[in-house]
DNA sequence: TGATATTATGTTATCGATAACATGTTATCG
DNA sequence: CGATAACATGTTATCGATAACATAATATCA
């Protein structure tokens, strides 16, 4: 069948006229429910097909005060973590019939955050998923302004706050699991290479390292960890530094797999056998880590799932609001899992 | 300052009433141009500030037939390539004052593609950036339907087609550069591990490998390459198979860095020295490849830039159309670069 | 100084759809 | 068989903004 030229948009009026009915009847046909006779329905449907009519979601959103669109605020999309999360968000949104209006943050100043929120609201998003992580005080605005935002918002990778919906990997528990595993392997001198400690997630992982060791009666000090910035290159530096300040170290917990990768390489260069002399545990379980040499023991977090659940959450809140149910804001944790590979034993 | 409760939206009418002017005057103040007395302007601006009024982009889009929103169609977001591209798209869109309406494809059937396009158009996107790659005949619809789509569309990672705007890394040239480099290193028996050959990009890289060798007077046959699916695990399989069918191989060009990673590992396990016995060149230049062991020689493609240029392109086409200029559809290539590291010499 | 241009503001129509209300026709039932 | 419910369709108001047109006051110039 030859499709009609779509250069000028076909509107509900065109259809109504061509079918010899009112626009209201066309609307009824398009939206299924309510009474339309079989004959009329068929006639209208035929015209719809023939003209290639698609209702304007825009116009519908305006009158219904509802857009079936979610706002997504991201940060660091060029890294794999945020994009895996975004992927989960996109899949779930699609499944539930929502589109995504995306906004990538570049830096964090509060003015800009207001703009971002406003620009999403100006387009009538029904809810917002905040994928950008908590860094420094970049979420300071949350407590103050949340109740001014007229749609549900769910935060990811944010420190749980009373009365504000959030969902995040349990970074603390993940780190504890990593340390526990190393202790089980008989290691006692466990160092840590952290992510940038302004990041809440990095801080949690470091806290897990510290607390788990403390619980095992082992003290940690400044000498036992160094700070990276998530990148492989920073990991290399951090490792070299750590070797100097903590030479007797027999295991290291690295805050992400990228940094762990360069630990593996640098260890090899220096003739440090992994895992015999030094056990290594990463965090994230990126696809490649199973193919590092040696393959990397790591804490797996399901970011895809995280994204999906966040969308599920917002949509539930949207629906609850529709029927005027009270919306309960909850903070949820998703538990990561330990994947044991060659780099530890 | 205490922000007003945003639970009920502030409209232009509220502002007009509070300021004692007509809505039109408020509109004039918001949109700068046209005559408004200084006094009135100030009064209106004060009210806008006080009520926290933000115009509804939705309503504006409806009347202006223009949304300042671009549709983005992605595929495989959980992989790093597409997300780097998306990052470029997001940055540039932001810079040019556009928002992004995102749609992630899961699989490819033509019906769904129609739906995707329709759902974007129903929201009045001003243009579309098609980030999803060409796989099999999933772009077959393009030639037939492009002229029915009433807004500019730019395709990425698509075989250039007459009259259809596209922009893509020059995969063929990249592969040729890789092979040329290996030839320059004195290698003559150069194998190839390709991506899935239904992907146009994978096919181009393979073609580059084949043609470059042919130009150097070296024949290739079925035995000299195997096919992977981009993943590290498939790369491992493909490499093992290739070692069997092409044991005398002294270099291998691998279609992406993930697969190259497992080639490095498997070679190490088998005691094959890299680069002495076997030189390895990858493709993509992912962040980690500089930290592989040995570090990986690779072809770097700037996906961020690709995304940026695509947006630049669509926006130019949108603007041209605004002033009724003819829009010239061009296919553009972005040249990749060779990064020499330890895995070849 | 009267004609015309500029400035300032308001009124009405419009974008494309649905909500709310109205009306007429056909079934159904006691 | 008359009353009421169910079905079928149309008319008008509305969402929140801007376009197009109208009007009035002031400024400018021959």
Angle between helices B12-19 and B38-51 (to 10 degrees): 130
Q: Is B6's CB within 8 Å of A55's CB?
A: no
Please answer yes or no on whether B103 and A99 come within 8 Å at the CB atom. yes
pLDDT at B3 over 60: no
User: In what order do the strands lie in the sheet containing A225-227?
Assistant: A225-227, A190-194, A251-254, A279-284, A297-300, A337-339
Give pLDDT tens digits for A134-157.
999 989 999 888 888 889 999 999
Nearest Cα to A310, choosing from A298, A302, A322?
A: A302
Among A87, A124, A150, the residue with its CB nearest the CB of B104 is A87
Tell me the average pLDDT across B281-287. 97
What integer pLDDT is reported at residue B4 of this predicted model? Answer: 38
> Best interface-test mutation with A: which of B63, B123, B284 has the largest number of A CBs within 10 A?
B123
Topology at the third CATH level for domain A68-169+304-334: Rossmann fold (3.40.50)
Q: Could you state, in order of their start, the residue ranges of all structural domains in chain B?
A: 12-55, 67-169+304-334, 171-300
Instruction: Give residue-wise pLDDT tens across range B117-126.
Output: 999 999 999 9
The domain A12-55 having CATH identifier 1.10.260.40: the answer here is yes
CB B342 within 8 A of CB B275: yes
Nearest CA in chain B to A304: B78
Two domains, one topology: A12-55 and A68-169+304-334: no
Residue A12 CB lies within 7 Å of the nucleic strand C? yes
CA separation for the pair A73, A86 (Å, rounded):
10
SS3 of A271-324: CCCCCCCCEEEEEECCHHHHHCCCCCEEEECCHHHHHHHHHHHHHHHHHHHHCC
Per-residue model confidence (pLDDT) at position A261: 97
Residue A108's pLDDT is: 59
According to CATH, what is the number of the domain B67-169+304-334? 3.40.50.2300
Of B3 and B337, more confident: B337
* pLDDT tens digits along A242-285: 999 999 999 999 999 999 999 999 999 999 999 999 999 999 99
**Beta-carbon separation of B293 and A288 below 8 A:** no
| B37 is near strand C: CB distance < 7 Å | yes
User: Residue A133 pLDDT > 60, yes or no?
Assistant: yes
CA distances from B215 to B183, B186, B278, B340 (A): 11, 15, 22, 22
Return the sign of the alpha-carbon dihedral for residues A83, A85, A86, A91: positive
User: CB B233 to CB A124 under 8 A?
Assistant: no
Residue A8 has pLDDT above 90, yes or no: no
Output the pLDDT for position A218: 97
Residue-wise pLDDT tens digits, B8-46:
789 999 999 999 999 999 999 998 777 888 889 999 999
Query: Which pLDDT tens digit goes with each residue over A316-329?
Result: 999 988 877 777 88
Q: Residue B123 gets which letter from DSSP?
A: T
Bridge partners, A71 (sequence order): A101, A128
CATH superfamily of this structure's domain A171-300: Response regulator (3.40.50.2300)
Spatial distance between the Cα atoms of A30 and A32, rounded to a whole number of angstroms: 6
**A61, A62, A268 member nearest B293 (Cβ):** A268
Percent of chain A whose pLDDT exceeds 70:
97
B65 touches strand C (CB under 7 A): yes
Contacts of A229 in chain B (CB under 8 A): none
Q: How does residue A109 score in pLDDT terms, banded at 50, 70 and 90?
A: low
Tell which wins on pLDDT, A36 or B3: A36
Span B69-119, pLDDT tens digits: 999 999 999 888 999 999 999 999 999 999 999 999 987 566 688 889 999
Query: d(Cα B281, Cα B342) in Å, to the nearest integer?
Result: 10
- Protein-contacted bases of chain D (C-beta within 7 A): 7-12, 14-20
* Cα gap A298→A341, rounded to integer Å: 8
């Amino acid at each position: 069948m030859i499709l009609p030229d779509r250069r000028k948009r076909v509107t509900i009026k065109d259809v109504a006229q061509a079918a010899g009915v009112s626009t209201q009847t066309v609307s009824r046909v398009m939206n299924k429910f309510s009474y339309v006779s079989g004959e009329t329905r068929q006639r209208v449907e035929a015209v719809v097909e023939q003209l290639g009519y698609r209702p304007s979601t825009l116009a519908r959103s305006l009158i219904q005060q509802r857009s079936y669109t979610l706002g997504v605020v991201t940060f660091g999309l060029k890294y794999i973590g945020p994009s895996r999360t975004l992927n989960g968000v996109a899949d779930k949104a699609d499944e539930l019939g929502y589109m995504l209006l995306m906004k990538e943050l570049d830096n964090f100043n509060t003015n800009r955050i207001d703009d971002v929120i406003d620009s999403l609201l100006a387009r009538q998003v029904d809810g917002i998923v905040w994928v950008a992580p908590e860094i420094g005080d970049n979420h300071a605005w949350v407590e103050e302004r949340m109740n001014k935002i007229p749609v549900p918002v769910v935060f990811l990778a944010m420190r749980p706050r009373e009365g504000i919906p959030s969902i995040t990997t349990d970074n603390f528990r993940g780190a504890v699991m990593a340390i526990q595993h190393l202790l089980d392997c008989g290691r006692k001198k466990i160092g840590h290479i952290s992510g940038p400690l302004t990041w809440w997630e990095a801080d949690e992982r470091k806290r897990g390292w510290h607390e788990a060791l403390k619980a095992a009666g082992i003290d940690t000090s400044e000498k036992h960890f160094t700070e990276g910035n998530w990148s492989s290159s920073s990991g290399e530096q951090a490792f070299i530094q750590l070797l100097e300040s903590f030479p007797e170290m027999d295991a290291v917990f690295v805050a992400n797999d990228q940094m762990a990768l360069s630990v593996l390489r640098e260890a090899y260069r220096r003739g440090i056998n992994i895992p015999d002399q030094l056990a290594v545990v990463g965090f994230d379980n990126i696809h490649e880590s199973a193919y590092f040499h040696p393959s990397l023991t790591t804490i797996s977090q399901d970011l895809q799932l995280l994204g999906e659940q966040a969308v599920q959450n917002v949509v539930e809140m949207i629906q609850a609001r529709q029927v005027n149910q009270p919306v309960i804001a909850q903070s949820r944790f998703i538990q990561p899992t330990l994947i044991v590979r060659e780099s530890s034993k």
